[in-house]
Amino acid sequence: GYKNLVNFTEKIFDKGFTDLSDKPFNNLVFMMKQIPSLLKLKSYKSVYSLVSNYISNEKLRRVFSMHPLLVGGNPFSTTSIYTLILFLEKKWGIHYSMGGTGSVVKALEKLMIEENIKIIKNAEVTEIITENKKVKGIKINNSKIINSDYVICNSDPPNVYNNLIKSKDDYDFLFKQKMKRMDYSMGLFVYYFGSKKKYNDVAHHTIYFGESYEKHLDKIFEKKILSDDISYYLHRPSATDPNMAPEGQDAFYVLVPVPNNLSKVNWIEEGNKFKNLVLEKMDKSVLPGIKDNVVSDFYLTPDYFEIDLATLYGSGFSIQPKFSQSAYFRFHNQSEIYKNLYFVGAGTHPGAGMPGVLSSAKVLDKLF
């Protein structure tokens, strides 16, 4: 059933990505016009359900339905629109920037400087100042105020509305209900480590599934409890870019989906134990002997995402990509409340992931 699945995901890709990923969804009428074609593409099904229509083998169903986890969604509840990722990766492949994501940031900074854009560093936006249903400017480090006619914000929208806008008087009943009903993506445990042993047979990208699938995802997304039966994504950039590690050594990170901070998991207590669990699992499977070969390491938990990156509840990808939280039903690129406040990034349309985030900037280009 693989070829038939790919053919169907191509149709979803043509509509969901090519046609709609860079279109503003601020207007309910525009959203309603898309409903017939979205229904035709079975957007009411979950990713797992759609894949199961074509693929009978349970292990292959896991392989072809795991893509929502790359954008913060549960394959058993994420709208099948997101099977477009399956086709997107087949069409264009997966690209890596030599030097890592940091090199992309440096290139963007260089471009901004060439365009005479002023960049202010070491400056956290601690408040978005509002008055008479308009944004008036921002406050930096709880002191300096910068006045502005427009604010384009790439921070997590639910965190902005909850914590950066101090007065909630402008929020109407419907918007407050929208805020209340939102479901948030899972959290992420990310362990970075170097190895003095080189693993030449390990690919740049590896996905390792635990014993259970649906039950494990239910623990993460619904029950919000930690599990010993983990699945993970292992990244070995030194497979492609030798400069990422000293000669004869390897660089890795492993990313493990975990519950977000609505779970109340105490990561100060659990962090090191969970790191050792992850090492143990890798030692017995993909990276034999890794426990004795780690030379330098650190890990990030949902606390880092909540405190340092300012995502609500430490979610890894803002809100989940369910149908009821997609397109018009996500946080709008032009704020529903303040018409001179705009959003780009994972929490607004079209969603998380590098293609989605870059597409949100294209949406903004159309709004101005």
pLDDT 10s digits, 289-310: 999 999 999 999 999 999 999 9
Q: Which domain holds residue 139?
A: 112-183+322-367
Give the residues across from 16 on adjacent strands.
none
| Bond prior to 350 in cis (omega within 30° of 0) | yes
Residue at 315 is within a domain: no
Residue at 345 is within a domain: yes
Q: Is 75 found in the same domain as 145?
A: no
Q: Average pLDDT of 35-45?
A: 89
Q: Is 152 found in the same domain as 193?
A: no
Residue at 106 is within a domain: no
pLDDT (0 to 100) of residue 39: 86
Residue at 117 is within a domain: yes
In angstroms, rounded to a whole number, what is the distance separating the alpha carbons of residues 207 and 221?
A: 19
pLDDT (0 to 100) of residue 27: 86
Q: Average pLDDT of 336-364?
A: 94
- Is pLDDT above 90 for 35? no
Residue at 360 is within a domain: yes
Q: Under the phi-then-psi rule, with left for phi > 0, alpha for psi from -120 to 50, and beta for the rest, what region is 282?
A: alpha
- Looking at per-residue confidence, does 228 or 368 come out higher? 228
Q: Is 119 found in the same domain as 222?
A: no
Which distant-in-sequence residues (6+ apart) come within 8 Å of 154 by Cβ?
343, 344, 345
Q: Is 177 found in the same domain as 191?
A: no
pLDDT (0 to 100) of residue 352: 93
Q: Is 26 found in the same domain as 10?
A: yes
In angstroms, rounded to a whole number, what is the distance separating the alpha carbons of residues 256 and 184?
A: 17
* Per-residue pLDDT reduced to its tens digit, 45-59: 999 999 999 999 999
Q: Provide the pLDDT confidence category of residue 354 given band limits of 50, 70 and 90.
A: confident
Residue ending a domain, among 92, 125, 143, is 92
Q: Is 302 found in the same domain as 191?
A: yes
- Is pLDDT above 90 for 315? yes
pLDDT (0 to 100) of residue 368: 81
Q: Which amino acid is at 100?
A: G
Residue at 344 is within a domain: yes
Q: Is 259 found in the same domain as 204?
A: yes
pLDDT (0 to 100) of residue 180: 93
* Per-residue pLDDT reduced to its tens digit, 189-203: 999 999 999 999 999
pLDDT (0 to 100) of residue 173: 94
- Is pLDDT above 90 for 178? yes
Q: Which amino acid is at 368?
A: F
- The lowest-confidence range among 40-44, 232-236, 313-317 is 40-44
Residue at 140 is within a domain: yes
pLDDT averaged over the chain?
95
Q: Provide the pLDDT confidence category of residue 28 given band limits of 50, 70 and 90.
A: confident
Q: Is 204 found in the same domain as 177?
A: no
